[in-house]
Amino acid sequence: MSAEHHSSLLDAVKGQPKQVWITAFAAVIAFMGIGLVDPILLSIAKGLNATPSQVTLLFSSYLGVQVLAMLVTGAASAKFGPKRTVLVGLTLIVAATALCSAAGSIEQLVGLRAVWGLGNAFFIATALSVIVGAATGGQAGAILLYEAALGVGLSVGPLLGALLGSISWRGPFLGTAILMAGALVLCAVFLKSDKGETRAPIKLLDPLRALKHTGLLRTSVASALYTAAFFAVLAWSPFVLGWNAIAVGLVFCGWGLCVAVAGVALAPRLAAKLGERHAAAAAVSGYAVLMLVLAVPSKPVLVAGIVVSGLVSGLLNTLFTGTAMSISDAPRPVASAGYNFCRWLGGAVAATLVGHVAEWFGSPQAPFIASAVLCVVAGVLLSLRERQADPHTLPEEAALVGEEF
């Protein structure tokens, strides 16, 4: 990654037009949705008389729909234009989050989270192109702004969930709906019209065709296994902690900050030293060790492990994407879509099964041990020799961790 990419955030924000700031603000709110429900999982379970397995479906439905929608968002944006795609996504998010605050059962909440995931897919997949197209000072500055939005969203989401969730589990959903409604109005007024633009068509099956490349498929499967472990941390550890919303929110705020810092600042250095694939293999092996640390029946150890896992997750989010971008000859947007389909499918399956794994083995530590095994398998897949050289520089797109959410 170039030195230009790591120019100061101050340089990146100077003189940016309104539509860049508005889209970045909306991106912060969208990224907040990833960790928003973490601090209130126990409150939701109590308020709706739901089991842990039922509550973790809030992640499964959100991710499952987002996974499938990611295959069509590129085609939709190419056909209808970025502004219309962004507005559709934001409208779905506003409607879903507002209705979540009034849900009367866990089934209703799970269904509405699916609608939220659909809206998020349309928005997130398109927001980057809007920022890059409108930003002054080149693509590097625009990417830095997008990364900043990701970092703020990941760290603020758990805090907002904790603060509003301490009043009622419905509070974080209503707060998000209000913030996103403001973003929707601003985007509708200030984003540039799609009329008159010429856009290259994207076929629906192109991302799946890209996975015929052995190296890309292997990387995507390894990423899916890691992402399953990632969601064992995100969706299960609040139940193991058993703490109130404020305490869980603070833990995951620290986690989110670590994800953002490692993905932007540390991953390029590790890739430069070891190469993308080797760095990813080393990092995912470290994540396996961390999963075993999380399995230690001690809450202080669990908290430390969660926060440190954010650093390794930040590395892996960037390194996996860099590998996916460089390992095949497919156009980068197409390769990214196929890779993200596999990756978040792993997360959706894990979020569905994590509670059941604990029940099947009769231990709250079982999901972490299973996650360690998955990470070992991922490390083996990444260690297999490829015909292509292992590059020691990351494509600029690799830092766009938020694009994958």
Name the packing angle between helices 245-261 and 18-35 (round to 10°): 130
Q: What is the pLDDT of residue 402?
A: 39
Residue 257 is encoded by which pair of tokens?
A: 């900050």
- Select from 130, 174, 139 the least CA-distant residue to 40: 174
Burial class (CB in 10 A: 0-12, 13-18, 19+), 339: buried
- Select from 331, 79, 332, 335 the least CA-distant residue to 200: 79
Helix ranges restricted to H, 295-365:
299-326, 332-361
CATH number of the domain where residue 367 is located? 1.20.1250.20
Q: Is the confidence at residue 333, as pLDDT, over 70?
A: no
- Quick check: helix, strand or coil at residue 78? helix
Q: What is the pLDDT of residue 405?
A: 42
- Is this prediction's pTM over 0.95? no
* Average pLDDT over every residue of 265-294: 91
Confidence category of residue 334, pLDDT binned at 50, 70, 90? confident
Q: Which of 122-126, 131-135, 211-215, 259-263 has the lowest mean pLDDT?
A: 131-135
Query: What are residue 13's phi and psi, to 5 degrees?
Result: -90, -10
Number of domains in the chain: 1
The answer to whether 232 touches 371, Cβ cutoff 8 Å, is yes
Q: Which domain holds residue 16?
A: 4-404
